[in-house]
Amino acid sequence: MTRTILHVDLDAFFCSVEELERPELKGCAFAVGGKPDERGVVSSASYPARCFSIKSAMPTARALRLYPDLIIVSPHHKIYSKYSRKVMALLFDSAPLVEQLSIDEAFLDVSDDPLPGKEIAASLQKTIKDHFGLPTSWGVATNKLVAKIASEVGKPEGLVVVPPGEEERFLSPLPVQMLWGVGPKTCEQLDKFKIRSVGELAIVSPERLKLLFGERGLDLIAKAKGVDRSAVASVRERRSISSERTFAADVAEYRVLDRSLRRMSEELGSRLRKEGLAGSTVRIKVRWPDFSTITRQARLQQPSDQDGEIYRAASKLFRKAWHEGAAVRLLGVGVSNLGPPARQLELFSHSWEHDENLLKAIDSIRKRYGPDALRRADSLRDAKRTSDSD
Ligand SMILES: [Mg+2]
């Protein structure tokens, strides 16, 4: 199956954040970094500074020799982390598999999404710009290697799509050092054989490259041809299952929010039963319009896979966290501490058993006719008015 992998990189991230905090820096040649008299280095250079060949990892003293009027800004790592967390939270909400590479880079696997990768990337690029004021570059390809290089090629504020089958042709004219695993040393060795572009590397005979680099030589050729099978390794562990909804417009109406909690609880219950799991912790997540996010959790008396129990716990948590009129951007329910359902005999109560039989019947109908075939009447009532987008 052809995969769709997105790579996102925040452009000159530290500098972009500094420009938000100090708008007078906008358009200036400046660098975030250590002081020149303390052997500091540049962590991030603004695009105007890059015109003077100033790059990250360069000693600040050298950067100042290249451009004596360069403004040096001391780093504010706490603020960068704060922005990074907000952007990453948005990404994690937007794709089932997200691998954060660093403070300002991530891979998203959107292979299962019916929307084209280009549209997903364009929409996220716009959201990140509109909500956080941060420019990003995106690469869309069939694997991580090519997606990462595509985003690099498009900088700043680029969106480069490499269609399936075009990987090798896309990489061909680029310098070999743009490939992963081609550092200065490898580059130097390749240069001796006049191999400077990825295309030149791709056509070297495997035997020759094996003599030079051993097994790694074959790996280099595969990379030069744009082959990479590594998976997007989601950092989210499957110690919980959750369901979330970002509303198309912020919602402040309790009835709508509560309805959404019930629907998500039903979905979770159904998924737990399908996988033969039960969870003993219920958690909610609420994101406010300014993107600040809270989570609250509660322990159940015993592990549960029942919609009603999950919903009651989630609803109680929500009522404590929410106040009348507060608008909500995203709402989520999760169940963790997963294990096999260990329901104890409840000799004097048949209500739960009744519920379980009912739920089994519901699950079998949903399986046959799709998830919307059957819903409790009270979760149907407002269905038209909720503008949930999953
Ligand atoms: Mg970056």
Domains (range + CATH), the chain: 13-77 (3.40.1170.60), 168-224 (1.10.150.20), 240-389 (3.30.1490.100)
Q: pLDDT-based confidence at 384, cuts 50/70/90?
A: very low
Stretch 41-56: mean pLDDT: 93
Percent above pLDDT 90 for the chain: 57
Residues acting as catalytic residues: 105
Å from CA of 242 to ligand 1 middle: 30
Kindly report, residue by residue over 225-269, the tens digit of the pLDDT. 999 998 888 654 346 788 888 898 999 999 999 999 999 999 999
Å from CA of 4 to ligand 1 middle: 21
Q: Which 8-state DSSP code applies to residue 162? A: -
Å from CA of 216 to ligand 1 middle: 28
Å from CA of 9 to ligand 1 middle: 5
Residue 135, pLDDT above cutoff 60 = yes
- Evaluate the omega torsion of the peptide bond into residue 156 and state whether it is cis, within 30 degrees of 0: yes
Q: What is the pLDDT of residue 74?
A: 93
241, 270 Cβ separation under 8 angstroms: no
Å from CA of 152 to ligand 1 middle: 9
Q: pLDDT-based confidence at 382, cuts 50/70/90?
A: very low
Å from CA of 70 to ligand 1 middle: 20
Kindly report, residue by residue over 159-193, the tens digit of the pLDDT. 999 999 999 999 999 999 899 878 888 899 999 98
Residue 276, pLDDT above cutoff 80 = no
Q: What is the pLDDT of residue 102?
A: 81
Å from CA of 16 to ligand 1 middle: 10
Q: What is the pLDDT of residue 182?
A: 86
Stretch 134-152: mean pLDDT: 96
For 141, phi then psi, to 5°, come to -160, -175
Non-local (6+) Cβ contacts of 254 within 8 A are 322, 324
For 181, phi then psi, to 5°, come to 85, 0
> Exposed/middle/buried for 79, CB within 10 Å: 0-12, 13-18, 19+?
middle
Residue 132, pLDDT above cutoff 50 = yes
Q: What is the pLDDT of residue 385?
A: 39
Q: pLDDT-based confidence at 373, cuts 50/70/90?
A: low
Q: pLDDT-based confidence at 273, cuts 50/70/90?
A: confident
Å from CA of 41 to ligand 1 middle: 16
Residue 383, pLDDT above cutoff 50 = no
Task: List beta partners, residue 299.
Answer: 281
Q: What is the pLDDT of residue 365?
A: 66
Alpha helices in the chain (DSSP H): 13-21, 47-50, 60-66, 77-94, 117-132, 144-154, 167-171, 184-192, 198-202, 206-213, 215-224, 254-274, 307-321, 351-369, 377-380
Q: What is the pLDDT of residue 371?
A: 60
Q: What is the pLDDT of residue 346?
A: 38
Kindly report, residue by residue over 303-337, the tens digit of the pLDDT. 888 999 999 999 999 999 999 999 999 999 999 87
Å from CA of 200 to ligand 1 middle: 28
Å from CA of 249 to ligand 1 middle: 30
Q: What is the pLDDT of residue 345?
A: 38
> Exposed/middle/buried for 351, CB within 10 Å: 0-12, 13-18, 19+?
exposed
> Lowest-confidence range among 95-109, 196-210, 356-370?
356-370
Q: What is the pLDDT of residue 377?
A: 52
Residue 117, pLDDT above cutoff 90 = yes
Q: Is the dihedral of CA 177, 12, 138, 290 positive or negative?
A: positive
Stretch 197-202: mean pLDDT: 95
For residue 211, the SS3 value is helix
Stretch 63-68: mean pLDDT: 96
Amino acid at site 155? K
Residue 389, pLDDT above cutoff 50 = no
Of the candidates 318, 316, 314, which has an alpha carbon nearest to the alpha carbon of residue 306?
Answer: 314
Q: 212 to each of 182, 192, 205, 219, how far by Cα in Å? A: 14, 11, 11, 12
Residue 374, pLDDT above cutoff 70 = no
Kindly report, residue by residue over 330-363, the tens digit of the pLDDT. 999 999 877 766 544 333 344 455 566 667 766 7
Residue 196, pLDDT above cutoff 60 = yes
Non-local (6+) Cβ contacts of 252 within 8 A are 325, 326, 327, 328
382, 254 Cβ separation under 8 angstroms: no
Q: Which 8-state DSSP code applies to residue 11? A: T
**Radius of gyration of the chain measured on its C-alpha atoms:** 26
Average pLDDT of every residue of the chain: 86
Compute the distance between CA of residue 317 and CA of residue 206 in angstroms, rounded to an integer.
61
Q: Is the dihedral of CA 20, 21, 26, 32 positive or negative?
A: negative
Q: What is the pLDDT of residue 375?
A: 56
Non-local (6+) Cβ contacts of 266 within 8 A are 307, 311, 375, 376, 379
Torsion of CA 130, 132, 133, 134, to 10 degrees: -110
Report the residue count for the chain: 390
Residue 105, pLDDT above cutoff 80 = yes
Å from CA of 3 to ligand 1 middle: 24
Compute the distance between CA of residue 125 and CA of residue 138 in angstroms, rounded to an integer.
8
Q: Angle between the 206-213 and 215-224 helix axes, to the nearest 10 degrees?
A: 130
> Lowest-confidence range among 16-20, 290-294, 315-319?
290-294
Q: What is the pLDDT of residue 341?
A: 66
Å from CA of 125 to ligand 1 middle: 14
Q: Which 8-state DSSP code applies to residue 344? A: P
pTM of the model: 0.62
